[in-house]
Structure 1
Amino acid sequence: MNSIDSVTLEVADATAAARFYSTALGLDPSHVRVRASEAPTAGFRGFTLSLVVSQPGNVDALVGAALEAGATAVRPASKSLWGYGGVIEAPDGTIWKIATSKKKDTGRVTRDFDELVLLLGVEDMKASKQFYVGRGLTVGRSFGGKYVEFAAGSGPVKLALYKRGALAKDAGVPADGTGSHRLVLAGAGGPFSDPDGFVWEAAAPLTATV
């Protein structure tokens, strides 16, 4: 396994979630899949998804479209030392960060994005890092015990690890949460569960819709 083959969000209303992701964020099943689930969940689910874009105008365009489609603003888009970005909660409860390292627009504003990144909140960075390296992932960047980013493989989603509390703080939400992550990952090495309970299953042909 050298990459994520697919990311599936488990949602209460798969049809509504599929519509939101395709119309508001421009995602399709090659990026994120959805499937119905009634698994109990409350509070922070332990992960966020990020859309990395090329300029501030694209952040505003995506955030605006998401809010119009029923998302909730968690952290309004604003400038920071590292760039420009904002955080929204999708109608299904998934936390999304939309950001750029640029501080000025340099081209036509679109809703295109450059990268889709899944950040898993972990309790023991060393253990989680070793676990995924043992599963065949290659570390691309590492910042001590705070953050690990794996090299992009052939899949559409880049995987990174962040301390759970720091990830929640970055997203602007309380770190407490119980129940299901409402997230299932797929790769060539599945099925298995990682040290923080994130579930992986064997890669399968694309059947779900977003």
Structure 2
Amino acid sequence: MALTTSTASTTSLASVTLEVTDPEAARRFYTAFGVDDRVGLRASDAHSTGFRGFTLALTVSGPATVDGFVDTAVAAGATPLKPAAKSLWGYGGVVQAPDGTVWKVATSAKKDTGPATGEIDEVVLLLGVQDVKAAKRFYADRGLTVARSFGGKYAEFASDGAGAVKLALYKRGGLAKDLGVPADGAGSHRVVLGSTGAPFTDPDGFVWEAAAAHTPTSC
């Protein structure tokens, strides 16, 4: 994909739309999974193989809630990629939805302090990029506010408030390793981001469309 050279004065992430082969089947899955209000769906047969270069991550309150979301996803047809387990940073698991999208469910808590809530504290769209520093500059130049940054490994942007999907950048190889998948992939990312500013394509091929012109099939 060609890199758009025009720069919007202010941009924020207004929507995330997954491009899927069967929107109706995907709608049923995401409704069961409990994230139907967080993503849109759009029919697409665009060629895509291997790692699509991104993941959507759910942050929840505790391990029991992680287990609840992972179990629900698998029961609805998702494939487990990494079983839910403790890690240095907390507790989490990774699944791949029937449409191919990889989802991570995690919490910073390592011990349960209560029953599963079924509630999502935060949704983060993690883009796997070749150069985190360059991608961070690219997005900052378009008006996104950097909230946290860890050198060339990770950068996170401020979101627009409760219910909004937060945007973050991760080194592509590191993201693939964290998800438990090979880093190789080709073709479409199969995700389109809604922009409050002008449309553009970032250096890693992620497409942003003007939110007003963005008409996905909702879940």
2:84 pairs with one of 71, 77, 100: 77
Shift of 1:190: 2.9
2-structure distance, mates of 1:51, 1:150: 16
Q: Distance in 1 between matches of 2:217 and 2:120?
A: 22
Match of 2:195 among 184, 187, 190: 187
Question: TM-score normalized by structure 1?
Answer: 0.95
Distance 1:33 1:61 in 2: 23
RMSD, aligned CA: 1.3
Aligned residue pair count: 208
Shift of 1:8: 0.2
Q: After superposition, where does 1:1-210 map in structure 2 within 5 Å?
A: 1-24=10-33, 26-29=34-37, 31-154=38-161, 156-204=164-212, 208-210=217-219
Cα separation, 2, equivalents of 1:189 and 1:181: 21
Contact (CA 8 Å) 2:42, 2:216: kept in 1 or not?
no
Deviation at 1:107, TM superposition (A): 2.3
| Corresponding letter in the other structure for 2:153 | K
Question: What is the deviation of 1:2?
Answer: 4.7
Instruction: Return closer, same or farther for 1:99/1:37 CA change in 2, 3 Å cut-off.
Output: same
Taking structure 2 as the reference length, the TM-score comes to 0.91
- Could you list the structure 1 runs, at least 4 aligned residues long, displaced by more than 4 angstroms after superposition: none
Distance in structure 1 (CA, Å) of the matches to 2:209 and 2:105 = 27
- Structure 1 residue runs of 5 or longer lacking an equivalent are none
Query: Which moved further from structure 2: 70-79 or 125-134?
Result: 125-134
Q: Deviations over 1:86-115 (max 9, x none)?
A: 000000000000000001122231221100
Q: Is the 8 A contact 1:2 1:138 kept in 2?
A: no
Q: Percent identity?
A: 65
Question: What corresponds to 2:6 in structure 1?
Answer: none
